[in-house]
């Protein structure tokens, strides 16, 4: 699991945050697919 703390008054690295969100989404999508394949086997 990934956590991001955003504090008021601090710069947000929007590119890094977007990459983190995308990689987390793809990771969960892959895990769900693998779990489904294991159940179907």
Tell me the torsion sign for CA atoms 14, 16, 18, 24. negative
pLDDT of residue 14: 95
- The pair of three-digit structure tokens given for residue 7, joined into one six-digit string: 């504090």
The pLDDT, as a whole number, for residue 1 is 60
**Cβ-Cβ contacts under 8 Å for 2 (sequence gap 6 or more):** 20, 24
The runs of H, that is alpha helices, within the chain are: 14-40
Q: Where are the domains of the chain?
A: 13-41
Q: What is the pLDDT of residues 1-41, one digit of tens each?
A: 678 889 999 999 999 999 999 999 999 999 999 999 999 98
d(CA 11, CA 30): 31
* pTM for the predicted model, two decimal places: 0.72
């Amino acid at each position: 699991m990934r956590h991001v703390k955003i504090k008021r008054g601090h710069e947000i690295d929007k590119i890094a945050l977007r990459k983190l969100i995308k990689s987390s989404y793809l990771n969960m999508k892959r895990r769900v697919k693998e779990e489904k394949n294991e159940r179907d086997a």
